[in-house]
């Protein structure tokens, strides 16, 4: 038996891929998460009301999603419904997260794979600087910075937000601040579209070079958004069967155990989810498959083109990346829409009485549905459970890795393209290991 | 062109994201190693090595020891690298036993009994506290840390008005109540510790209406003293500005949300230096 180990970079956190081969036949392809901090253990005994400040520290990339899911779980337990303005500001916060994350994944994590460089920051140095790529790193950072500014405006702190509180948010958004943010986003929109067009063109070139978009057999898709102008604040989880078309399930967060099986693997610190023995997929492609229209002009045009060219549902691996670009454009356009509404109203939060019990909080994080589940006794966390989007994708990642390994490993040789393919496959799912292991 | 690398140990990547938010370094510095954004096998020779995250696994320790050999200057950024961070909330008997029993897996890096600060194992030239440090602080590290201009404490950067005659009788709790826009959060009954927390972050949290939890650690006045000195000072502020019973303040300060940061420079975490002594980190080394 030969064991090939591939270290991973340009993803969040510490992980590696291990492929076992015997006589040129791939025996297994494993995705190993190699870090662990133990949040479910270490928050035990913490005052429940401190969770919204503690849990963003699970992950600095997905901190906003944890912050909002946490507040929603406490509101569920306490039986309080925040006023409409607070919900709007939280939606804005989620859009800031989406914008920042998709820009990072697209341009910093995966663009180098399309250009054959080790990092976006060396594009100029290696002489790739054609018209479409001039100053690409600076432009990419500028777009993602608009997301950071949106998170700061709607969330208070720039990485670990503080503004969502049980019953609402700590305050509205002043007219002048909203106008300035709108202007920044309006400037970022054409920059983002131009970068995405370049990205799309280089992705087509990559697929032509490889002879594939990364085909894999169909999977089930999982997301908490649907309809038109999708709201990442999250209400129900939707599950699309392998064949597409009719949804096969829709359920609230508190019923997730009836639909999702969470398993453990001894070779990884991350768990893995499945649906009745089927491989699941969450993240951008799940949303592109379940959303019919985005309702904002540019993003919707991209989505229609995507559906036209690749079908609905689409299954190829590299389409996750393209779908992410569509959402980047959507996040900017939708945030501009929301910032045009009045956000400086007086009613931003409602009073509440803490009480013991159970609560579930659901949001659609950039990587898929995220659930926080708390059991509260004497005002303290007796049990906390974090159901992480990346965990839904672990089996899908492993299956796609196996497809890639079988493509590039033959009895007489291992094609060196495999190393690049492993990176591309994993990055297409944009896994977050800090979250997955927590 | 100055070269720098970022070594990510066990943490949340928030420090790395904050660095990416500071775009100004792109033209002036060469980033040669940072797994989050660069595919590179190892840390090469660098002028500056930024280390984020705590030492949680044997792999973290191995990478740390290898990396520092190649660095002119070693900088610990963020609460985790300085104290072990949020993962250190697991440094309790019942939690440790769970970790060690349930999480002993054959093919993944072995967990150490607790999350350690970086300077338990290697010498650190500069500490940059914050959860995470702001982009401005990252830029200061890369340019000239000694030129960085900041107020002594967060309070001076906040801009909220302190009222002499408004004295709350009890704390509101972190999630309760309406926040008045321009009035000091202590006047409104919040356990805000910005009055003695190190300045330099420009007070984003209290400005947004959330009490300062002290992620930047103690100001220079307290940084070389035991944590009780900082505690006493915070209690004195509340005794002057409020009628809240001392026990209530004490309980709040020792709850995880604050304890996580309040103790980051104390020997509650394991700050034994490489030399083996228990000296506090000198304030000249803290940005």
User: Which residue in B265, B206, B284, B257 sits closest to B79, CA to CA?
Assistant: B265
**Paired residues of A4 in beta bridges:** A19
Residue B252: inside a domain: yes
Tell whether B100 lies on the interface with A, counting CB pairs under 8 A. Answer: no
Residues A438/A370, Cβ–Cβ less than 8 Å: no
Q: Which residues contact B282 (CB under 8 A, 6 or more apart)?
A: B224
Count of structural domains, chain B: 2
Residues A431/A283, Cβ–Cβ less than 8 Å: no
Tell me the C-alpha distance between A114 and A207, whole Å: 10
Tell whether A13 lies on the interface with B, counting CB pairs under 8 A. Answer: yes
Residue B163: inside a domain: yes
3-state class (DSSP) for residue B134: coil
User: Which stretches of chain A drop beneath a pLDDT of 50?
Assistant: none
Tell me the C-alpha distance between B283 and B222, whole Å: 9
CB spacing of B175 vs A423 below 8 angstroms: no
- Position B270 scores a pLDDT of 46
Whichever domain contains A56, its CATH number is: 1.10.645.10
Same domain as B92, residue B217: no
Whichever domain contains B25, its CATH number is: 3.40.50.700
Same domain as B11, residue B138: yes
- Cβ under 8 Å to A: B residues 69-98: 85-87, 89-90, 95, 98
CB spacing of B56 vs A104 below 8 angstroms: no
CB spacing of A53 vs B85 below 8 angstroms: no
Residue B268: inside a domain: no
Tell me the C-alpha distance between B125 and A329, whole Å: 43
Tell me the C-alpha distance between A271 and A320, whole Å: 22
Tell whether A376 lies on the interface with B, counting CB pairs under 8 A. Answer: no
CB spacing of B108 vs A104 below 8 angstroms: no
* % of residues, chain B, pLDDT over 90: 60
Contacts of B21 in chain A (CB under 8 A): 145, 148, 158
Pick the range with the lowest mean pLDDT from A134-138, A411-415, B34-38, B95-99.
B95-99
Kindly indicate the confidence band of residue B66, based on its pLDDT and cuts at 50, 70 and 90. Answer: very high
Structural domain containing residue B57: 2-148
Closest approach of B98 to chain A, Cα-based (Å): 8
User: Which residue in A391, A19, A34, A31 sits closest to B103, CA to CA?
Assistant: A34
Tell me the C-alpha distance between B47 and A176, whole Å: 42
- Position A55 scores a pLDDT of 96
**Paired residues of A429 in beta bridges:** none
Residues B103/B111, Cβ–Cβ less than 8 Å: yes
Same domain as B166, residue B42: no
Same domain as B182, residue B82: no
Same domain as B140, residue B194: no
3-state class (DSSP) for residue A166: coil
Tell me the C-alpha distance between A157 and A167, whole Å: 19
Cα A227–chain centre separation: 19
Tell me the C-alpha distance between B223 and B279, whole Å: 11
Same domain as B122, residue B86: yes
| Host H or E run for residue A70 | helix A63-78
> How does strand A168-169 pair with strand A164-165?
antiparallel
Residue B55 has φ and ψ, to the nearest 5°, of: -95, 100
- Position B276 scores a pLDDT of 57
Residues B70/B120, Cβ–Cβ less than 8 Å: no
User: Which residue in B71, B8, B76 sits closest to B36, CA to CA?
Assistant: B8
Neighbours of A85 (CB within 10 A): 21
Same domain as B130, residue B78: yes
Neighbours of A98 (CB within 10 A): 27
3-state class (DSSP) for residue A200: helix
Tell me the C-alpha distance between A156 and B268, whole Å: 29
Same domain as B104, residue B31: yes
Work out whether the CA dihedral A102, A107, A108, A109 comes out positive or negative: positive
Query: Mean per-residue pLDDT for B248-261?
Result: 90
Phi-psi region of B203 (alpha: psi -120 to 50; beta: other; left: phi over 0): left
> How does strand A227-228 pair with strand A237-240?
unpaired
Q: Alpha helices, DSSP H only, in A156-219?
A: 175-210
Same domain as B103, residue B58: yes
Residue B77: inside a domain: yes
CB spacing of A50 vs B174 below 8 angstroms: yes
Same domain as B177, residue B89: no
Kindly report, residue by residue over A181-232, the tens digit of the pLDDT.
999 999 999 999 999 999 999 999 999 999 999 987 888 999 998 778 899 9
Q: Which residues contact B47 (CB under 8 A, 6 or more apart)?
A: B2, B3, B4, B71, B72, B73
3-state class (DSSP) for residue B3: strand
User: Which residue in A86, A78, A170 sits closest to A374, CA to CA?
Assistant: A78
Tell me the C-alpha distance between B167 and A163, whole Å: 24
User: Which residue in A177, A178, A154, A145 sits closest to A67, CA to CA?
Assistant: A154
Best of A17, A18, A57 to disrupt the B interface by mutation (most B CBs within 10 Å)? A57
Best of B210, B252, B257, B259 to disrupt the A interface by mutation (most A CBs within 10 Å)? B210
Contacts of A42 in chain B (CB under 8 A): 86-87, 89-90, 95
Phi-psi region of B134 (alpha: psi -120 to 50; beta: other; left: phi over 0): beta
Structural domain containing residue A120: 2-437
Residue B214: inside a domain: yes
Tell me the C-alpha distance between A426 and A405, whole Å: 13
User: Which residue in A80, A81, A51 sits closest to A66, CA to CA?
Assistant: A51
Q: Is the pLDDT of residue B268 over 50?
A: no
Same domain as B247, residue B113: no
Among B92, B119, B148, the domain boundary falls at B148
DSSP at A375? E
Interhelix angle B135-142/B14-21, nearest 10 degrees: 80
Kindly report, residue by residue over B237-249, the tens digit of the pLDDT.
999 999 999 999 9
User: Which residue in B140, B147, B152, B232 sits closest to B198, CA to CA?
Assistant: B152
Residue B94: inside a domain: yes
Residues A267/B106, Cβ–Cβ less than 8 Å: yes
Kindly indicate the confidence band of residue B269, based on its pLDDT and cuts at 50, 70 and 90. Answer: very low
Same domain as B162, residue B142: no
Kindly report, residue by residue over B144-203, the tens digit of the pLDDT.
888 888 899 999 999 999 999 899 999 987 777 788 889 999 999 999 999 999 999 999
Residues B213/B262, Cβ–Cβ less than 8 Å: no
What is the CB-side half-sphere exposure of residue A307 using CA atoms within 13 A? 16
Question: What is this structure's pTM?
Answer: 0.95
Count of structural domains, chain A: 1
- Position A1 scores a pLDDT of 87
Residues B68/B118, Cβ–Cβ less than 8 Å: no
- Position A126 scores a pLDDT of 72
């Amino acid at each position: 038996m030969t064991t090939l180990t591939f270290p991973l970079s340009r993803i969040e956190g510490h992980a590696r891929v291990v492929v076992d081969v015997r006589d040129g036949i791939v025996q297994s392809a494993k995705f190993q998460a190699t870090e662990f901090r133990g949040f479910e253990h270490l928050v035990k005994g913490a005052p429940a009301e401190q969770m919204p400040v503690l849990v963003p520290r699970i992950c600095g990339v997905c901190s906003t999603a944890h912050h909002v899911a946490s507040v929603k779980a406490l509101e569920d337990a306490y039986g309080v419904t925040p006023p409409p303005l607070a919900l709007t500001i939280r939606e804005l916060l989620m859009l800031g997260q989406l914008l920042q994350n998709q820009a990072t994944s697209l341009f910093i994590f995966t663009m180098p794979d399309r250009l054959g460089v080790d990092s976006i920051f060396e594009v100029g140095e290696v002489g790739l600087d054609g018209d479409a790529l001039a100053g690409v790193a600076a432009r990419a950072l500028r777009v993602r910075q608009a997301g950071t500014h949106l998170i700061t405006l709607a969330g208070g702190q720039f990485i670990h937000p503080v503004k969502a509180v049980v019953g609402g948010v700590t305050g509205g958004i002043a007219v002048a601040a909203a106008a300035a943010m709108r202007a920044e986003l309006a400037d970022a929109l054409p920059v983002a579209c131009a970068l995405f067009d370049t990205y799309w063109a280089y992705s087509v070139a990559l697929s032509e070079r490889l002879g594939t978009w990364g085909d894999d057999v169909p999977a089930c898709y999982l997301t908490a958004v649907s309809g038109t102008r999708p709201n990442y604040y999250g209400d129900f989880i939707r599950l699309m069967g392998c064949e597409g078309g009719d949804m096969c399930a829709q359920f609230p967060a508190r019923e997730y155990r009836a639909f999702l099986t969470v398993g453990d693997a001894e070779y990884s610190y991350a768990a893995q989810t499945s649906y009745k023995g089927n491989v699941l997929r969450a993240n951008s492609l799940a949303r592109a498959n379940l959303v019919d229209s985005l309702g904002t002009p540019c993003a919707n045009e991209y989505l229609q083109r995507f559906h036209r060219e690749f079908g609905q549902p689409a299954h190829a691996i590299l389409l996750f990346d393209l779908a992410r670009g569509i959402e980047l454009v959507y996040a900017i356009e939708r945030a501009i829409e929301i910032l045009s509404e009045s956000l400086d109203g007086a009613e931003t939060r409602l009073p509440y009485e803490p009480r013991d019990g159970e609560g579930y909080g659901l949001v659609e994080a950039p990587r898929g549905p995220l659930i926080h589940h708390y059991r509260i006794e004497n005002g303290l966390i007796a049990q906390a459970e974090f159901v992480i989007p990346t965990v839904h994708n672990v089996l899908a990642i492993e299956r796609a890795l196996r497809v890639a390994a079988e493509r590039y490993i033959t009895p007489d040789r291992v094609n060196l393209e495999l190393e690049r393919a492993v990176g591309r496959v994993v990055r297409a799912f944009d896994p977050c290991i800090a979250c997955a292991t927590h | 062109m100055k070269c720098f690398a970022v070594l990510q140990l066990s943490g949340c990547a928030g420090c790395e994201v904050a660095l990416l938010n500071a775009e100004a370094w792109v033209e002036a510095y060469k980033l040669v190693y940072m797994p989050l954004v660069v595919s590179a096998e190892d840390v090469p020779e660098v002028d500056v090595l930024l280390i984020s995250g705590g030492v949680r696994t044997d792999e973290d320790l191995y990478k740390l020891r290898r990396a520092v050999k190649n660095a002119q200057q070693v900088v610990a950024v963020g609460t985790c690298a300085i104290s072990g961070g949020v993962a250190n909330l697991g440094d309790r008997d019942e939690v440790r036993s769970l970790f060690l029993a349930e999480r002993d897996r054959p093919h993944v890096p072995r967990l150490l009994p607790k999350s350690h600060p970086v300077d338990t194992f290697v010498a650190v030239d500069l500490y940059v506290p914050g959860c995470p440090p702001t982009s401005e602080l990252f830029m200061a590290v890369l340019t000239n840390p000694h030129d960085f201009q900041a107020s002594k404490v967060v309070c001076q950067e906040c801009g909220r008005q302190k009222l002499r005659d408004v004295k709350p009788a009890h704390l509101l709790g972190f999630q309760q109540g309406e926040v008045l826009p321009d009035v000091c959060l202590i006047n409104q009954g919040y356990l805000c510790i910005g009055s003695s927390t190190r300045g330099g972050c420009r007070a984003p949290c209290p400005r947004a209406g959330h009490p300062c939890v002290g992620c930047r650690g103690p100001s220079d006045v307290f940084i070389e003293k035991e944590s009780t000195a900082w505690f006493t000072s915070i209690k004195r502020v509340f005794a002057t500005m409020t009628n809240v019973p001392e026990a209530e303040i004490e309980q709040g300060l020792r709850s995880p949300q604050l304890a996580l940061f309040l103790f980051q420079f104390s020997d509650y975490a394991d700050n034994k230096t490489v030399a083996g002594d228990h000296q506090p980190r000198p304030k000249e080394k803290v940005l």
